[in-house]
Amino acid sequence: MLLPYGDNLTRGRFFFGVILLVSLMLILDVPTFLDADLEEWSIRYLSFVPLLFSISPWSHVHTLLTSVFLHQDIFHLAGNCLFLWVFGRSLERLFGLLIFLLAFPFLGVVGLLAHWALFPASRAPVIGASGAIATLMGAYLALFPAARMRMVLFLGVFFKRFQVPAWVFLLYWGALQLLSLVFGSGGEDNVAYAVHVGGFAVGVLGAMVWKVTYPFAEEHLSEFMQIASTGARSALAAKRLT
């Protein structure tokens, strides 16, 4: 198993937005893991079902948002929280707390609509923050391709830590999601890959549009990278001194 657990842009800072979102998902999801009746109610009324949305979109439009904060089990939740922690912090730092918190729920809508466009007659409920997080990952690729991702590879009881450029891991992850969508493995592992692919593509496109249209975007990004790299060097120097 290959997982990211950090990057070189966010050391030594408190990220209130990411922590708040992780806490919110824990508060909303853990009770459903412990109560079967509550879980059944949540899936029935708060999950996104493409067929129901096709039949009566206005009656089910709320599920485009509520489904983002629901998860199937603790492993599904833990995986999304990990990826939100890894990729969300730099974007919260770049765009600011308010924009990050307001945008996050709606980022999940992108992936859900992509899934609905491909499978409008599907009866399978779709839940999870994967679409929103995939959008963040796409934006991260466009904005920070040269960032250093801290990775861990698990081989049974052994593990190996190493670093790779962000673009290496993110292109690997994106290609894996696309291949899984094309070859239809979502039915086997119960994953809505269209949500991931759609969100990732929109994240890349949206970040590129921001870079070329937002006034002083390049200057803002350059300043961010300079501050981040200075902080990383300071942290490394302190670590060597201690």
- The pLDDT value recorded for residue 185 is 62
Residue pLDDT, tens place only, 101-110: 999 989 999 8
Confidence of residue 238 (pLDDT cuts 50, 70, 90): very low
Residue pLDDT, tens place only, 12-46: 677 899 999 999 999 999 999 999 999 999 999 99
Residue 27 and residue 81 in contact, taking contact as beta carbons nearer than 8 Å: no
What would the mean pLDDT of 88-114 be, rounded to a whole number? 92
Structure tokens at 44: 């029935």
Mean of the per-residue pLDDT values for the chain? 88
Fold of 2-241: Rhomboid-like fold (1.20.1540)
- Give the separation between CA 203 and CA 60, rounded to whole angstroms: 25
210 CB-contact burial (10 Å; exposed 0-12 / middle 13-18 / buried 19+): middle
Q: List Cβ neighbours of 114 (8 Å cut-off, separation of 6 or more).
A: 131, 194, 195, 197, 198, 199, 202
In the numeric block, the tokens 């493409």 are attached to 50
58 CB-contact burial (10 Å; exposed 0-12 / middle 13-18 / buried 19+): exposed
Residue 196 and residue 182 in contact, taking contact as beta carbons nearer than 8 Å: no
Range name among 4-18, 125-139, 163-177 with the lowest pLDDT average = 4-18
- Give the separation between CA 40 and CA 36, rounded to whole angstroms: 6
Residue 207 and residue 116 in contact, taking contact as beta carbons nearer than 8 Å: no
The beta strand positions in the chain, using DSSP E, are 2-7, 148-155, 158-165
Q: Where exactly are the structural domains of the chain?
A: 2-241
